[in-house]
Amino acid sequence: MAEQSSAQEKSPQREWKLSTAVGPAYPEGKAGEAWARLISERSGARFAVKHFPGATLAQRDPAREFAGLRDGAIDLAVGSAVNWASQVKELNLFALPWLFADHAALERALAGEIGARLSKALEDAGVVSIASTPGAFQQLATRRPVHAPADLAGLRLRAPVSRLYIETLLALGAVPAGMSASDARGALSRGGLDGEVLGVAAFGAARLYANGVSHLLVWDGFADALFFAVNRELWLTLSAADRELVRQAANDAALARLAREGTGVTRLTRAGKQPFRERTRAVYERWSAVVGEDLVRAAEETVR
């Protein structure tokens, strides 16, 4: 009987499905891959975790990922704030244009009251957030150099499917198109786009410079954050020790970095960012009301 009990303790439970919107070539996908591996290793294979990159558990639509996690089709996920913001409005905080100056400001926000309030918002929406980390700032890759808002006039730019991104780019005079990264690759190769809003690692992984998109403006226009989250029903079945194991594995899941090459890079100074910030101020204020004025003002105080 004792041997049977021991065998049951060592045998894995059902396989957990872990989702990320992108693959391991990107920081988000790399973090998901690492989290799955660490849980499996540290549990002695009691918990078998399979990583599903590319939003394959959500019909390849990152915007559907949060609903899958909430409803149980997905057990764990490393999700980007921009992809989950349509389900949890408070996460639009990170896309408020030029709110966060750098990763240090993001880290302060996530480590303090702001992070706690966002975790509560996620839990209220149906999932348990157990760790978070700054994501990639969204930069601007274009076929021609951009130095000032006037340079964006008429540029056809792909952006994540986000009303806040779209309104910000419209305010700058661009012609934005909300579409998936995979759809954008085809549009860029056909000449249907002049550029894209994306992270530096994504720029390198997609090799946009091969399609003539060879100018990168490091404007830090939109921030992002990654949330390590668990389906609430699954979380409730775990013992305190297993919750700590999963949480610590999330905290240890790595940051990933990718090199970039063949690109002319322009990095805006604080003064250089100011004209972009002023041009998009009305969008910022309008979306502050959506996110929650008190949350935005608390974030402004934190980064200040």
pTM exceeds cut of 0.75: yes
Q: Give pLDDT, residue 256.
A: 38
Do 285 and 92 form a contact (C-beta atoms < 8 A)?
no
What's the pLDDT score for residue 1?
Answer: 41
Is 81 a residue whose pLDDT tops 80? yes
Give the tokens for residue 140: 């601007």
Largest CA distance in the chain: 77
The C-alpha atoms of residue 219 and residue 228 are separated, in whole angstroms, by: 27
Q: Alpha carbon of 92 to those of 111, 155, 288: distances in Å?
A: 18, 24, 9
Give yes or no for residue 181 having a pLDDT over 80: no
Each residue's pLDDT tens digit, 29-71: 999 999 999 999 999 989 999 999 999 999 999 989 999 999 9
- Res. 185 pLDDT band, cuts 50 70 90: confident
Express each pLDDT in 125-161 by its tens digit.
999 999 999 999 999 999 999 999 999 999 999 998 8
Q: Please state whether beta strands 127-134 and 49-52 pair in parallel, antiparallel, or not at all (unpaired).
A: unpaired
Q: Which two tokens stand for residue 253?
A: 């899941």
More confident residue, 269 or 180: 269
Amino acid at 283: V
Please state the rounded mean pLDDT for residues 157-171.
Answer: 94
The phi and psi torsions of 137 (rounded to 5 degrees) equal: -65, 145
Considering only 1-10, 11-20, 33-42, which range has the smallest mean pLDDT?
1-10
Q: Mean pLDDT in the chain?
A: 90
Q: In the structure, what pLDDT confidence band is assigned to residue 6 with cuts at 50, 70 and 90?
A: very low
Rounded CA separation 166/221 (Å): 13
Angle at 198 between CA 158 and CA 297, to 5 degrees: 105
Question: What's the Cα-to-Cα distance from 10 to each of 4, 34, 40, 75, rounded to whole Å?
Answer: 10, 22, 12, 21
Q: What's the whole-number mean pLDDT along residues 186-203?
A: 89
